[in-house]
Amino acid sequence: MRAFEYASAATKQQAVSLLSGTMGDAEILAGGTDLLSLIKDDILAPKRLVNIKEIKELGGIRSAGGGLRIGALTTIEEVADSSLVRQAYPGLAQAAAEIAGPQIRHMATVGGNLCQRPRCWYFRNGFGLLGQDKNGKSLVLEGDNRYHAILGNSGPAYFVHPSSLAPALIALNAKIRIFGPAGERDLPLEQFYTVPKSASDRENVLQAQEVLTEVVVPAAKGVRGATYEVRQKDAFDWPLALASVALKMSAGKVQSARIVMGHVAPVPWRSQEAEQALVGKGVDEASAKAAGEAAVQGARDLGHNAYKIQLAKVAVKRAILKAAKGTPV
């Protein structure tokens, strides 16, 4: 591990002042479950770590305006265990409960999960965010791409977005609050993520001196939500495909739907095609299957990951059926 400065902030204003104006020169330390591994593996080499764990206002889950405010320092375990979340936002609670193992859920934070870096093994082995050789040629396309993207993979980014919370929150139309030198700004979480076009890009719009401070989840009255994921084993593992669904139903038919997939594209992938296939219909095996088929329109395999297309269909179908069986909030 390379030497770095360590600074601890007591307020979000102090945290911003301690961050460098150049992306990558300083990194934010919250739970540290991903960041410390990246530093140890020499994938990141920040000159300073800014600890924000002492900023009390960034923690906790509380009701607000009929919805929820979840502080960025709230742990995944707290989200999974919250009776407020389980009752009003079951899809979010289900997503949180499946993340990693209990030790990591105890340490990892909501903000860290939303901002974590890709699990792509080319990136994690020092070949850059886009997995390229020294001549700029993609190693992913001719290499082992069995866990890479099936959607949004026209290049040059082929990794899959690693957050399991993000799809559930986007399905709920959540916003995030960001604090920086110019003050606070709110942004729909759906607009937070970007597909990198160069190795120097990041995977979200967070600027060098900005901190994600909280997630704002709107009221979910009348919403039926669920998350369904497919993984190789039930023990600590990363999902191969995940779907989060939020349905509003009336007289047995879907009035509106938000369907978001995870671990299948460089960003959390909202499928308006699947939503449109479901609206106005009752939910049964046939309509859920049709929505799953619609969700992977335009999907393409990279040579070794064609199986993920079928898994994504199944995840969407089962998330829809799971949500429809649930009790509306």
The answer to whether residue 21 scores a pLDDT higher than 90 is no
Residue 328 DSSP label: P
* Percent of the chain scoring above 70 in pLDDT: 99
- Tokens encoding 303: 């040579």
Backbone angles phi, psi at 199, to 5 degrees: -65, -20
CA geometry: angle at 172 spanning 16 and 213, to 5°?
A: 10
Assigned domain for 248 exists: yes
Number of Cβ within a 10 Å radius of residue 57: 12
Domain, as residue range, for 282: 223-325
Distance CA(152)–CA(305), nearest Å, equals 14
Domain stop point among 54, 72, 92: 54
Distance CA(212)–CA(215), nearest Å, equals 8
The answer to whether residue 176 scores a pLDDT higher than 90 is yes
**In sequence order, what DSSP letters do the residues of 282-315 get, joined into one string?**
B-SHHHHHHHHHHHTTT----SS-THHHHHHHHH
The answer to whether residue 280 scores a pLDDT higher than 70 is yes
Structural domains in the chain (count): 2
- Condensed to tens digits (0 to 9), the pLDDT of residues 252-276 reads 999 999 999 999 999 999 999 999 9
Positive or negative: CA dihedral 276, 282, 283, 289? negative
Measuring CA to CA, which residue among 252, 306, 312, 321 is closest to residue 282? 252
Beta-strand runs (E) in 124-240: 175-180, 183-188, 211-217, 223-230
Do residues 72 and 58 touch, judged by C-beta distance below 8 A? yes
Backbone angles phi, psi at 274, to 5 degrees: -65, -40
Q: In the predicted model, what is the mean pLDDT of residues 212-217?
A: 98
Assigned domain for 293 exists: yes
Per-residue pLDDT band at 324 (split at 50, 70, 90) = very high
Assigned domain for 305 exists: yes
Assigned domain for 63 exists: no
The answer to whether residue 83 scores a pLDDT higher than 90 is yes
What is the residue whose two structure tokens read 């607009």? 191
Assigned domain for 135 exists: no
Whole-number Cα distances in Å, 323 to 3, 5, 83, 223:
49, 47, 18, 9
Residue 132 DSSP label: B
Assigned domain for 70 exists: no
The answer to whether residue 234 scores a pLDDT higher than 80 is no
- Condensed to tens digits (0 to 9), the pLDDT of residues 193-207 reads 999 999 999 999 999
pLDDT at res. 161: 98
Assigned domain for 316 exists: yes
In the chain the first and final C-alpha atoms are separated, in Å, by: 48
Per-residue pLDDT band at 238 (split at 50, 70, 90) = confident
**Domain containing residue 287: CATH number:** 3.30.390.50
Single-letter code of the amino acid located at 209 = Q
Single-letter code of the amino acid located at 137 = K
pLDDT at res. 186: 98
Domain stop point among 54, 73, 93: 54
3-class DSSP state for residue 197?
coil
Please report which helix (H) or strand (E) contains residue 8, including its range: strand 5-8
Distance CA(292)–CA(312), nearest Å, equals 7
**Domain containing residue 47: CATH number:** 3.30.43
The answer to whether residue 149 scores a pLDDT higher than 90 is yes
Assigned domain for 105 exists: no
The answer to whether residue 188 scores a pLDDT higher than 70 is yes
pTM for this structure?
0.97
Region of 303 on the Ramachandran plot (φ > 0 left; ψ -120 to 50 alpha; else beta): left
Q: Is 180 exposed, middle or buried (0-12, 13-18, 19+ CB in 10 A)?
A: middle
